[in-house]
A and B are shown apart, each in its own frame.
Chain A
Amino acid sequence: MTARFEDMLINSLLYGVLAAVLIFFYVPIFTLIAFSLQEGRYLTLPFEGISLKWYGELFKSATALTALRNSSLIAAFATIFSTAIGTAAAIVAVRYRFRGKLAFHALTGAPLAFPQLLLGIVLLLWFSVLGRWFGFNTGVVTAIIGHVVYITPFVMVIVAVQVYNFDPQLEDAARDCGATTWDVYRHITIPLLWPGIFSAAIFAFLLSWGNFYITYSLAGSTRTLPTFIFSGIAVGSSPLYPAIATLVFIPGILLVITAAGLRRKYSGGA
């Protein structure tokens, strides 16, 4: 009886902490969504009324639309490059033994533990000096490069988990049956690693889509949604900014749910 009581106590304690943390995580997110529905001009309570008016304003604002376009562009390219490079690196890190493996791990994983703002600043210095020598300015391209540097290690870690659970004998079998290296990749390796690659790509897209620090340092005068919102906090202005923030959440919600559904489908089938 006491053991059961103890068990219940632990359970309720754990669920209590969980509930508190989930509320803590979602307080600012729901606050933003709530404020985006404010009808009045200012971000103060009580609301003058509830309306979707600011979402309409959003689509009339040229700067907001440009920011949306830049965010999508940067995130699309950053996702493609970091997923490709990170997947290859994950296969190398898990499957091969070679000289300098430890150095390879350290080099490819290092940006994970490097504060984003400092990474952004170090890269800004680099591109500014190179830009002076070769005559270019920071902009969308440098922002994409910065995102790829920061995101590739995340992709590597996520895909590495999938590579680890992958039986390389399947590749050997295909090769024994006469498949070329490229055939093995196309028909065996990539399909089997797909769930990992796909989750990693989604993760990469979201990290880039919502990134502030690196874009802020490297995009020059180009604005993305997060940097556009940051300029809005400084001015401390209208419900337009919470409305943009809410729109930025939407791809995140959709992609996280898709990824989880897909993962369950794959793990259920296996």
Chain B
Amino acid sequence: MDHSVSRNWRDPELLLKALPSVLLQTTCFIAPLLMTFLLTFQRTRDFQLRWTWDLATWTDVFTKPHYWTILGHTLVMAAACVAISMVIAFPIAYGLSTRFKRWENEIKILITFAFITDATLKTFGWVLFLDKKGAANFLLAGLGLPPESVAFLFTDWATLLGMVYNLLPFAIFTLYLSIDNIDRNLILAAYDAGAGKWRAHWEVTLPLCKPGIWAGSVLIFLLGVGVFLEPKVLGGGTSPMSAELIRQTFETRVNWPLGAALTLVLMTVSVFLVLLFTRLLNMKRAGASA
């Protein structure tokens, strides 16, 4: 089904369609990233940026363990969010592509709507629900449970709940696409060969949707390291994560070079980890088949 036509860059049709997005992403994504990098070598004095070209900011970043503790905490939270989201998303995605046929559209609409509603509002909703005097405790008290039995708002657990809540749809969508693309004949062949449901699942379905599992995990991890609403609103700001630290550096301390450096450190470390794990998994697979 490859319909693609070869085009030269001098072809006006290609230029007309490709140029807007290329221009947009170079001037408003790549160029700002480069600028961010250049800013790390400057300094701010009296809330004004000074073009000084020195390494003061980077020395600061690499000598204060404080930044790295927060980074570590952020990475752990993002990894936990990936694991939980994948475990919850798998049965939903699997059901959507194989068993929920009758309600498929309705379920998709419900999930899409929940996904597309702004995170700020939903996070606010969680605060009202989980608060000491919130809806959850009110309902539980109505059932006869002791007062304030739901008391994990403003802890890391609430932050994690918010992260899973906001990122779970990404896991469901990517897993759904990869399970839906599996050739059903392969699974039927496994049944013919005498495999039971569980065995077919473990040995055929699961390995075949590995790329989807991986793509979803990477997406959630990268988005997860950048969350700021959840730790601030649900976590109560008690144990800050990198994005919150970066925001404070810009807003409260008005230290642009430091904020820029921390942004780059966060992105570089996360992308590096993703590449490292991709590499390790590939090596393991290559080793297993050899």
Contacts and interface: CB of A to CB of B under 8 A. Distances in A.
Given A35-B128, A111-B25, A118-B266, A21 B222 contact: no
A210 B247 contact: no
A21 B129 CA distance: 16
B21 A86 contact: yes
A260 interface: yes
10 contacts: A17-B91, A18-B91, A21-B92, A26-B114, A43-B128, A46-B138, A96-B5, A98-B14, A129-B49, A210-B119
A230 interface: yes
Nearest to B198: A6
A25 interface: yes
Given A24-B165, A88-B21, A92-B17, 16 more contacts: A17-B95, A29-B125, A91-B17, A98-B14, A99-B9, A107-B26, A110-B25, A113-B219, A115-B225, A132-B49, A226-B120, A233-B120, A242-B128, A253-B113, A256-B109, A256-B116
Given A21-B88, A121-B263, A213-B228, A14 B117 contact: no
Interface string A70-113: 00000000000000111011011011111110001001101111
| Chain B interface size, under 10 / 10 to 19 / 20 to 34 / 35 or more | 35 or more
A206 B28 CA distance: 22
Contacts of A3: 197
A40 interface: no
Interface of B: 1, 3-9, 13-14, 16-18, 20-22, 24-26, 28-33, 35-36, 39, 49, 88, 91-92, 94-95, 99-100, 105, 107-114, 116-129, 133-135, 138, 165, 168, 197, 218-219, 222-223, 225-229, 233, 243, 246-247, 250, 256, 259-260, 263, 266-267
Contacts of B33: 122
A149 interface: yes
Given A156-B21, A226-B121, A18 B107 contact: yes
Contacts of B13: 181
Nearest to B259: A121
Main secondary structure of the interface of A (DSSP, over half): helix
A52 interface: no
Contact of B18 (A13, A84, A92, A118): A92
A229 interface: yes
Interface of A: 3, 6-7, 10-11, 13-15, 17-18, 21-22, 24-32, 34-35, 43-46, 84-86, 88-89, 91-92, 94-100, 104, 107-108, 110-119, 121-126, 129, 132, 145-146, 148-149, 152, 156, 164, 167-168, 181, 203, 206-207, 209-213, 226-227, 229-230, 233, 241-242, 245, 248-249, 252-253, 256-257, 260, 264
A121 B91 contact: no
Contacts of A31: 125-126, 128-129, 134-135
B166 to A, nearest CB: 10
B22 A108 contact: yes
A10 B9 contact: no
